[in-house]
Amino acid sequence: REPPEAILGRIRTTLDINEACKEADLVIEAVPEKIDLKKKVFSEVDAVAPKHAILATNTSSLSITEIASATKRPDKVIGMHFFNPPVIMKLVEVIRGEKTSDETVNIIMDIAKKLGKEPVLVNKDSPGFIVNRILFALFHEALWSVDSGEHTVDEIDSAARYKAGFPMGIFELIDYIGIDITHQIFQAMIDRGVKFQIPKTFEEKAKSNELGVKSGKGYYKYPAPGVFAKPSVSIKAGVKVDIIRLVAPAINEAAMLFEEGIASKEDIDKAVKLGLNWPMGVFEYADLFGIDTVVSALEELRKVRGMEIYEPRKILKEMVERGEVGRKSGKGFYSYRVEEKKFETIIVKYEYPIAWIILNRPKKLNAINAKMLEEMEKALKEIEDNKEIKAVVFMGSGKAFCAGADVSEFKDMSGVDAFLYSRRIQKVFEIIENLTKPTIAAIHGYALGGGLELALACDLRVAASGSLLGQPEIGLGIIPGAAATQRLTRIIGEGKAKELIFLGDYIAAEDAESIGLVNKVVPPRELELEARKIGLRIAEKPALSLLIAKYVINYGKDAAESVGKVLESLGFGLARSTKDAEEGIKAFLEKRKPKFKGE
């Protein structure tokens, strides 16, 4: 590597455009985002730069074609949008104007690569290009959500950071960019035909002296003007924010870019990952959320907001019609390996690396009968033997997770029959409890009696808001028979377990979370998403160590504390002997993400 002094020695500065450009092969302009100023600069540069010189603009939102109109070489005018800070950010958007030549495009793409950048090609001079078009659709919905009183700034930013996994909250990022600059970019896109509508509250904010980090205060307060400090936002604040609805407009704009040939899906996803530091591409989010769910959210927003910008793009609707709705169907914007096996009472879907066991007696609210137990046991054996499956999710079809055992089967039972039935259901649920792969119950509607006991046999429980859980068997003159007296007591304590079992009352999902009965409550539209996200995160972990941890917890909880500690130590030693432990320790020391293989 050359010493910095040598590099700096080749750089000359001047305020004279003629001196700067007379021998240039490439000129990159970075004056403020004002179209008249840009055109003036390009006109002056065009007059003095060599005829072969390429003139590039670093604009983030203005029309390349309009800027090129100020020159006599529109074929050599191009957008070359660097991201801030350019010494760190890898992304460069390369944007064609209407008359930009292929030769110019190829040269700039090559130069960007030689600079160590990752260029993406914007084939048409579209407002906002890729990143800002998608980002400002996200900003737009966040601003309207707060303006309408649906959510607070903290709630939106909490959801963005902790649910979507974005590196910054939406309002935190607006503050960082500058509220006045954000408003200018909105207005520039609106002037070019984008159907955004700026909320009155944001208009007023942009006219105030509270412009974000630069002024020391915007949506958040900062230590001093120009001094950024990351705002403290509670994880809990965003629990009720529907993340799919919040992100759906950004997916819609990305779909427009792809549909109209403005950019490839690969470049669009690369752009948001490199330009916004999102953990996944916008189309990867779409496939994870479920494109049908995204379209539903957009249709809801179109109705609530009454704005054309929320109308689902044709490509999204067509994908839903074809059943290409993302990970769960095996195909969305990308392809996935999915296999489905239908039984009489359940559906087993292998959405690698996750298996879904879907209770499928919707007319009976998925009540558990003898056939379901038989089929569930068979499915669990197949899943146990499938080394590619790393996590298992239990869900219910229709309006409920599971309303309990099928009481019609109790009608002619003798006491002995009831005892044997109880032992049978306990046996199947013990298979779930002892499965070598982590299990997740995704609860919606009702989880009652045997349905709640099924969920209790799982390692983790996620519930949709509005769900009801309970052990109402006492109302039938009986008691729980699938181990609620044991598992429920261990999970929520003796007093609360007795309360639920003695009174037979239902409790809301939120109350269930507060007593530790469920791990998390999410908006109904997010239930499947949350279960999938947990399953995918588990799949990235070392499978053998997960198994060891599960067994040490399951069997240690019934032992004396001293015995439990010994079990833990033995498990620790066993886990350390695995190849995954070697990889994990090595990756930590090398400051990289580990690649576990389950060995």
Q: What tokens appear for 370 in the block?
A: 């003898």
CB atoms within 10 A of CB 383: 19
Choosing from 155, 375, 453, 528, which is the catalytic residue?
A: 453
Band (pLDDT 50/70/90 cuts) for residue 379 is: very high
pLDDT of residue 231: 95
Q: What is the rounded distance in angstroms from the CA atom of residue 400 to the CA atom of residue 63?
A: 52
Looking at residue 87, its pLDDT comes to 87
Cα angle 179, 181, 184 (rounded to 5 degrees) comes to 110
Task: Specify the DSSP class assigned to residue 42.
Answer: H
Domain locations in the chain?
A: 14-122, 131-321, 338-533, 541-589
Half-sphere exposure of 562 (CA within 13 A, CB side): 0
Annotate 188-207 with DSSP letters as a single string: HHHHTT------HHHHHHHH
If you count them, how many residues does the chain have?
599
SS3 231: coil
Is 453 among the catalytic positions? yes
- Cα separation, 165 vs 148, in Å, equals 24
Report helix, strand or coil for 441.
strand
> To which residue do tokens 């400002």 refer?
136
Structure tokens at 276: 């916004």
Q: Which CATH architecture has domain 131-321?
A: Orthogonal Bundle (1.10)
Q: What tokens does 461 get?
A: 């429980």
Helix (H) or strand (E) holding 344: none
Q: How far apart (Å, rounded) are the C-alpha atoms in residues 128 and 60? A: 7
94: helix, strand or coil: strand
Q: Identify the three-state secondary structure at position 119.
A: strand
- Mean pLDDT score, 190-214: 94
Which residues contact residue 353 at a Cβ distance below 8 angstroms, ignoring those fewer than 6 apart?
Answer: 388, 389, 390, 391, 535, 536, 539
Distance, CA of 226 to CA of 224 (rounded, Å):
6
* 338-533 topology per CATH: 2-enoyl-CoA Hydratase; Chain A, domain 1 (3.90.226)
In this predicted model, what pLDDT tens digit does every residue of 385-417 receive, in sequence order? 999 999 999 999 999 999 999 999 998 899 999
Phi, psi dihedrals of residue 355, rounded to the nearest 5°: -110, 135
Q: CATH number of 541-589: 1.10.20, 2.10.260, 2.30.29, 1.10.12?
A: 1.10.12
| Average pLDDT along the chain | 96
Q: 556 by DSSP, 3-state: which?
A: helix
Question: Closest Cα to residue 244, out of 195, 288, 309?
Answer: 288
Confidence of residue 577 (pLDDT cuts 50, 70, 90): very high
pLDDT at 2: 85
Q: What is the pLDDT of residue 351?
A: 96
Q: What is the CATH number of domain 14-122?
A: 3.40.50.720
Residue 138: name the closest of 119, 110, 166 by CA.
166
- SS3 of residue 9 by DSSP: coil
Q: How does residue 78 score in pLDDT terms, banded at 50, 70 and 90?
A: very high
CA angle 444, 458, 410 (to 5 degrees): 75
Strand partners, 224: 227
Q: What is the pLDDT of residue 153?
A: 97
Q: What is the pLDDT of residue 61?
A: 84
The catalytic residue among 473, 513, 528, 530 is 473
Helical pair 291-305 and 243-259, crossing angle rounded to 10 deg: 100
In tens, the pLDDT along 84-122 reads 888 899 999 999 999 999 999 999 999 999 999 999 999
* Residue pair 189/33 in contact by the 8 Å Cβ criterion: no
Residue type, 388: E
Paired sense of beta strands 391-396 and 354-359, if any:
parallel
- pLDDT at residue 1 greater than cutoff 80: no
Query: Which are the contacts of 413, defined by CB distance < 8 A and separation ≥ 6?
Result: 421
Q: How far is CA 188 from CA 86, 152, 183, in A?
A: 23, 27, 9
**What is the band of 220 on the pLDDT scale with cuts at 50, 70, 90?**
very high
How far apart are alpha carbons 305 and 581 in whole angstroms?
Answer: 51
State how far Cα 164 lies from the chain centre: 4
State yes or no: is 19 an active-site residue.
no
Can you give the pLDDT at residue 196? 97
Alpha-carbon torsion (84, 87, 91, 97), positive or negative: positive
As a whole number of angstroms, the distance between CA 423 and CA 442 comes to 25
Q: Are 39 and 10 in contact (CB under 8 A)?
A: no
Residue 33: predicted pLDDT: 87
pLDDT of residue 200: 94
Beta bridge partner(s), residue 446 = 468
Q: What's residue 413's pLDDT?
A: 92
User: What does the block give as tokens for 143?
Assistant: 């601003």
Nearest Cα to Cα of residue 231 among 214, 247, 215, 217: 217
Q: Which two tokens stand for residue 223?
A: 């230590």
> What is the Cα–Cα distance from 181 to 463, expressed in whole angstroms?
41
Distance of CA 344 to the CA centre of its chain: 34
Query: Which pLDDT band holds residue 434 (cuts at 50, 70, 90)?
Result: very high
- For residue 165 the two structure tokens come to 């996994």
Interatomic CA distance for residues 26 and 21, integer angstroms: 9
pLDDT digits (tens, 9 = 90+) for 229-238: 999 999 999 9
Contact 290, 529 (CB under 8 A): yes
Rg from Cα positions in the chain: 29
